């Protein structure tokens, strides 16, 4: 892994927050007059990709699209710049960790308390409902699909914040021909049957990922996991109704609808899914931001 720069443009770099296939996210400090300081997240391309015009275009397109978003459950994008040939995108910093890090892996993996899991799922569905419903100035839908709803892209704060991030895979389907997922980006375990098949994706594909995410949080397992990627993808193609042992019936009913093999049998609109999760959340005590923050702080103490 490359050595961190001390400075990128006007920002002092503190540490690396995460690395993806194309970019990396850094924790940095912005300085202003009178001793002003604010911690921010900077997204930059990985060192070996910097200077490549194709990847730079993707980074800038992602930033321009995300700058349109204004929702409490989405990571905010504030500005873009270039310093010494390095393009950067300034985003909200969430003081916490992503859901994957908080749950852990292998034998250290821990399920999320049901009430907290419902609060997280509700935040994610609210963000998706906003994205799916976003319209341009003429009132036409952008047809946005996130395409990578997964634990590493769900950021959770010590203050109870839940924010969906990483819009690098999101696609505006209106006026475009590349709505098919022939190149299987994203994380295969959360892909819908239509995404695994390389079909055309819509909002229902993100709903599938929410169902997988919710089941995983509560049970500690993903319903279609196999021994490896190929077996998992085959199970996803078949999409037999999962058993969901140990899950409350009302929660399981929502999950099962999300993971219907036929996208048309899922929720007609993501707003309906969000309302269903919100209703589940309202019936549980401790399904609020305070409980989410307490769980996050407890998990970070355990891991530090």
Say whether 79 is catalytic: no
Tell me the C-alpha distance between 255 and 196, whole Å.
19
Listed by start position, the domains of the chain span 7-91, 96-303
Tell me the C-alpha distance between 281 and 41, whole Å.
30
Asked if 29 contacts 14 with a C-beta cutoff of 8 angstroms, the reply is yes
User: Which CATH number is correct for 7-91, 3.30.200.20, 3.30.70.20, 3.40.50.1970, 3.40.640.10?
Assistant: 3.30.200.20
Q: What is the pLDDT of residue 300?
A: 93
Q: What is the pLDDT of residue 246?
A: 87
Q: Which residues of the chain have pLDDT under 50?
A: 169, 173-186
Asked if 53 contacts 45 with a C-beta cutoff of 8 angstroms, the reply is no
Q: What is the pLDDT of residue 175?
A: 35
User: Which CATH number is correct for 96-303, 3.30.1490.150, 1.10.3860.10, 1.10.510.10, 3.90.550.10?
Assistant: 1.10.510.10
Q: What is the sign, positive or negative, of the torsion defined by CA atoms of 220, 224, 228, 229? A: negative
Q: Taking Cα atoms as reference points, which of 145, 148, 195, 128 lies closest to residue 21? A: 148
Asked if 268 contacts 133 with a C-beta cutoff of 8 angstroms, the reply is no
Gyration radius from the chain CA atoms: 19
pTM: 0.90
Q: What is the pLDDT of residue 166?
A: 80
Q: What is the pLDDT of residue 179?
A: 39
Name residues whose C-beta falls within 8 Å of residue 197's C-beta, 6 or more positions apart in sequence.
Answer: 237
Which candidate in 148, 225, 262, 288 is catalytic? Answer: 148
Q: What is the pLDDT of residue 22?
A: 83
């Amino acid at each position: 892994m490359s050595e961190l720069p001390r400075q990128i443009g006007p920002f002092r770099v503190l540490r690396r927050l995460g690395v993806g296939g194309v970019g990396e996210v850094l924790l940095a400090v912005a300085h202003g007059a009178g001793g002003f300081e604010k911690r921010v997240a900077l997204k930059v391309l990985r060192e070996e990709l910097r200077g490549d015009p194709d990847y730079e275009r993707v980074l800038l397109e992602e930033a321009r699209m995300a700058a349109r978003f204004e929702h409490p459950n989405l990571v905010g994008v504030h500005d873009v710049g270039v310093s010494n040939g390095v393009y950067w995108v300034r985003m909200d910093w969430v003081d916490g960790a992503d859901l994957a890090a908080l749950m852990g892996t292998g034998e250290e993996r821990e399920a999320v308390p049901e009430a907290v899991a419902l609060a997280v799922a509700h935040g994610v569905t609210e963000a998706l409902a906003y994205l799916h419903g976003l319209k341009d100035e003429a009132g036409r839908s952008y047809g946005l699909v996130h395409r990578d709803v997964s634990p590493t892209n769900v950021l959770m704060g010590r203050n109870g914040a839940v924010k969906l991030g990483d819009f690098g895979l999101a696609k505006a389907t209106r006026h475009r021909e590349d709505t098919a997922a022939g190149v299987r980006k994203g994380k295969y375990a959360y892909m819908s049957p239509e995404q695994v098949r390389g079909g055309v994706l819509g909002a229902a594909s993100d709903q599938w990922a929410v169902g997988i995410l919710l089941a995983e949080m509560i049970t500690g397992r993903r319903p279609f996991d196999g021994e490896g990627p190929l077996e998992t993808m085959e199970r996803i193609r078949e999409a037999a109704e999962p058993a969901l042992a140990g899950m409350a019936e009302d929660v399981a009913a929502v999950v099962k609808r999300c993971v219907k093999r036929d996208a048309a049998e899922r929720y007609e609109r993501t707003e309906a899914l969000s309302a269903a999760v919100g209703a589940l959340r309202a019936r549980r005590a401790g399904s609020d931001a305070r409980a989410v923050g307490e769980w996050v702080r407890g998990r970070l103490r355990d891991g530090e």
